[in-house]
Amino acid sequence: MYLKVKGNPKWLYAMIDDETRFWIAMQVGDKKWTEDVRPLWRESREVAGKQPKTLITDGARNFGIANKKEYYSRYSAKTTTHIKDIAFNGRYHNNKMKRFNGELRDRQKVMRSLKREDSPILTGMQIHHNFVRPHTGLNGETPADRAGIKVEGENKWLTLIQNASREK
């Protein structure tokens, strides 16, 4: 997704789970078609604790390169299947990702621009998307609820802040 950082054009790459719509990882890059997105692939594997069985992307060449370098295995059972031939009315599509981008675009539009690439605004949006905002497509559940991660309490933001501030 295109966004502005200090008025300069950047690209936000995001990885979401198709079933739960959980926003797993993100990366801000300078270019769309040639950016090395392998750090995004690595972070998503670390967060999820496993690599995806199937990866649905648009036709950007860099996604195929990253998939081969990060998720390829000599053993076909361990290799991630990369689907890049998507169509609006086809068997595979990225409508959920397009909807996700629209959600981010709505927020980013009123902000006009981020101040820096590692802005806490993006992390806050990720937390809100995953743990606070109910999704109609998930029957009013949050992606965290659907993934089996429960946040108890009336005020989910307060609960998340209290849990994060506990000493380990």
What pTM, to 2 d.p., does this model score? 0.82
pLDDT at 111: 74
Classify 21 in phi/psi space as left (phi over 0), alpha (psi -120 to 50) or beta. left
Cβ neighbourhood burial of 16 (10 Å; 0-12, 13-18, 19+): buried
Whether 25 and 40 have beta carbons less than 8 Å apart is answered as yes
Most confident stretch, 22-31, 67-76, 88-97, 113-122: 22-31
User: Tens of pLDDT along 36-66?
Assistant: 899 999 999 999 998 898 888 887 888 888 8
Token look-up 């989910």 returns 156
Confidence of residue 87 (pLDDT cuts 50, 70, 90): low
pLDDT at 86: 67
